[in-house]
A and B are shown apart, each in its own frame.
Chain A
Amino acid sequence: MTEHGEAQCSTLRDRAARLQHDHRYDALRPLPRRRALVVVALGAIAALSGTLWLAGSAWLAALLWLVAVAGLVLLRRVVRETADLPDDALDERLVAVRDSAYRTAFATVAALCVAVLVPLWIAVDGFDYTVTAGNLHALLWAVILTTLTLPSAILAWTERDL
């Protein structure tokens, strides 16, 4: 490994170590509160997608977007950024826990895409449902925000000790 690479790894490990001893978000770490946070964050994403799909109020969409992003940031902090740190910054157990969360997240995103795209395809092809650019953007926003949030949400929902 180059000198620069080693320095980068060391910085990442230092960051991971700091996160392990970060007590600023302890109030949100008991399991019921973490799960409530997951429900709020994913609920905000669902409501935002619905609002954009139906071309609802721009103010409501902006508010829901803020709640969803705040939920994403808090979830990442509550799980000590475990889902986002690279292998070098985590021990073997945490790498296994993180990768397992990603497998669950992948299956969930794939199932959600099937659940949304197949009925939409049938509606468009069989019943001449009109899709607008706003509908497309609502779908893509939902996929982007859900994909960013889900791994940390799964860790927050399932991990006993954080």
Chain B
Amino acid sequence: MSRNEVEAVRQRWAAVFDDPGLAWARSRSRRRALCVLHWAVIGAVGVAGWLEPTLAWGLTGVGLLLVWFATYWLLSLSTRGVTEGPDTVLDERQRAERDHVHRRAYRVVLWMAMIGFVASWAVFEAAGVPVEGRQIGQLGVAALLLLTTLPTALLGWAPREGRDDD
């Protein structure tokens, strides 16, 4: 990629993610509120899918997915796209921040897998609850929704030294 092309990509990125009009979404309290809403939607997908596996396919499911995507997009804008940004559009500090938050997200995934293993053993082996494939499928969907946006949500939750607007 030539220097001009890199510069053009940087400018397009900055136009979307450094828009001063989004300052309202960048305060720590609003980022955290977005995180709570985002995680609540994922929890609702899991619970709705567990209680009524067909529910998640209907209007409720589509509505929850729309809110999930909207909160993810707002979180991404409020964190200036750091977790999704390629090396060319991020400075050294942002690259370090991006990689560091991925490490934290990775640890969360490991803990979730361990807790999931123990819970699954306790429910299906020890308590003898029969496995219902559709319920497991919906929990899998909730896990995927959480996994794909986890670094952005964790960055939104974290205090950002000297960069919080409140």
Which residues of A are interface residues toward B (Cβ below 8 A)?
A: 96, 98-100, 102-103, 105-106, 109-110, 113-114, 117-118, 120-121, 124-125, 128-133, 136-137, 140-141, 143-144, 147-148, 151
**Interface contact B120-A100, CB-CB below 8 Å:** no
**Interface contact B113-A110, CB-CB below 8 Å:** no
**Interface contact B117-A96, CB-CB below 8 Å:** no
The listed residue (B113, B121, B133, B148) touching A144 by CB distance below 8 A is: B113
Q: A113-B147, A117-B143, A124-B136 are known contacts. Are A137 and B120 too (CB-CB below 8 A)?
A: yes
Instruction: Give min CB distance, A113 to chain B, whole Å.
Output: 6
Complex contacts, A148 vs chain B, CB 8 Å: 110
Complex contacts, A128 vs chain B, CB 8 Å: 133
Question: Is residue B25 within 8 Å, beta carbon to beta carbon, of the partner chain?
Answer: no
Which residues of B are interface residues toward A (Cβ below 8 A)?
A: 96, 98-100, 102-103, 105-106, 109-110, 113-114, 116-117, 120-121, 124-125, 131, 133-134, 136-137, 140-141, 143-144, 147-148, 151
A113, B100: Cα distance in complex, Å: 21
**Interface contact A106-B116, CB-CB below 8 Å:** no
**Interface contact B106-A136, CB-CB below 8 Å:** no
**Interface contact A113-B143, CB-CB below 8 Å:** yes
Instruction: Give min CB distance, A136 to chain B, whole Å.
Output: 5
Complex contacts, A113 vs chain B, CB 8 Å: 143-144, 147
Main secondary structure of the interface of A (DSSP, over half): helix
A141, B98: Cα distance in complex, Å: 28
**Interface contact B102-A124, CB-CB below 8 Å:** no
Instruction: Give min CB distance, B124 to chain A, whole Å.
Output: 4
**Interface contact B102-A131, CB-CB below 8 Å:** no
**Interface contact B137-A151, CB-CB below 8 Å:** no
**Interface contact B99-A100, CB-CB below 8 Å:** yes
Minimal Cβ-Cβ distance residue in A for B148: A110
**Interface contact B99-A96, CB-CB below 8 Å:** yes
**What 5 pairs between A and B have smallest CB-CB spacing?**
A99-B99, A133-B124, A102-B103, A124-B133, A103-B102
